[in-house]
Amino acid sequence: MDSSVNVQLSRGRADDREDELSELDWYHYDLSRHAAEAILLSNGKDGSYLLRKSHDGPMFYALSVRGKDSVKHFQIEWTEGSIKFGFNEFHSLSDFVNHFANQPLIGSETGTLLILKKPYPRKVEEPSIYESVRVHTAMQTGRTESDLVSEAPSLGTKEGYLIKQGGRVKSWKTRWFILHRNELKYFKDKMSTEPIKTLDLTECTGVQFDYSQERINCFCLVFPERTYYMCTKTGVEADEWIKLIRWKLSQLKKAAKS
């Protein structure tokens, strides 16, 4: 058999593996080592893990696992007949997945043991209104593959310029706003690194269109100590901010009741 045929067979087997893995929602394809660390440290929990491709070759993959304050990476080899992970060997992808559904322990090079608790998904579907929202979620682990279901609400992010009314002096100035997790921060401009102020949405009691300021496309955020007035260039943009903030407030209420 010539080398070209060998290459074609190898590519075919790699494509078959990718097709199988694409059904696994915690497989992150070409996610880099550094990106995996950033995601797990910022949005994961102790025991969160994900699977991604390794740069060691087409048969190798990497399992990235978050500990308390760091991320460890473990190599997985998928040969034609089995999937090898540490001292374990699995004959199918379903066997491999079921292994992770039973919260196994793995040891790192430092001798510490990590418990695999929560597969971290590559994507979470979000309502169509949030076209510019980036989402992540944590997962919980059950005893079988079918029990690997969502646990935490997704986290939406939005940013852009808004025209904001001042507090003491009721003038209007353009500010750069960033909505992330449960915080709405505003900056002097997009290049500023330190926010002028951070609004904690857990203290917000409501958000709605406002017509009291004699300005179009204006909405307000109501807090116990102050009401903040902001305007956008278009009504569609104002509607997006309102719906996303309102959705976040509803998630906070659900979390408070649970």
Q: List phi, psi (to 5°) of 44.
A: -85, -175
Find the range with the poorest average confidence among 124-138, 180-194, 230-244.
124-138
Q: Which helix (H) or strand (E) holds 4?
A: helix 3-21
- Per-residue model confidence as pLDDT tens digits over 27-83: 998 888 888 888 888 778 888 899 999 988 888 999 999 888 888 899 999 887 899
What's the pLDDT at 204?
Answer: 95
Q: In b/e form, how buried is each residue of 214-225, taking b as 16+ CB within 10 angstroms? A: eeebbbbbeeee
3-150 has which fold?
SHC Adaptor Protein (3.30.505)
Determine the Cα–Cα distance for residues 12 and 14; give it in Å rounded to an integer: 5
Tokens 């449960």 sit at which residue?
182
What's the pLDDT at 53?
Answer: 92
Determine the Cα–Cα distance for residues 195 and 189; give it in Å rounded to an integer: 9
Residue 62 vs residue 20, higher pLDDT = 62
What are the C-alpha distances in Å from 97 to residues 13, 54, 178, 199, 210? 20, 18, 38, 42, 51
What's the pLDDT at 197?
Answer: 95
**Equal fold, 3-150 vs 157-257:** no
CATH number 2.30.29.30 given to 157-257: yes
Determine the Cα–Cα distance for residues 134 and 195; give it in Å rounded to an integer: 21
Most confident of 78-87, 127-136, 183-192: 183-192
DSSP state of 27: B
What's the pLDDT at 248?
Answer: 86
CB 130 within 8 A of CB 176: no
How many percent of the chain have pLDDT more than 70? 80
Most confident of 44-48, 167-171, 201-205, 248-252: 201-205
Domain ranges of the chain: 3-150, 157-257
Q: Is the pLDDT of residue 112 over 50?
A: yes
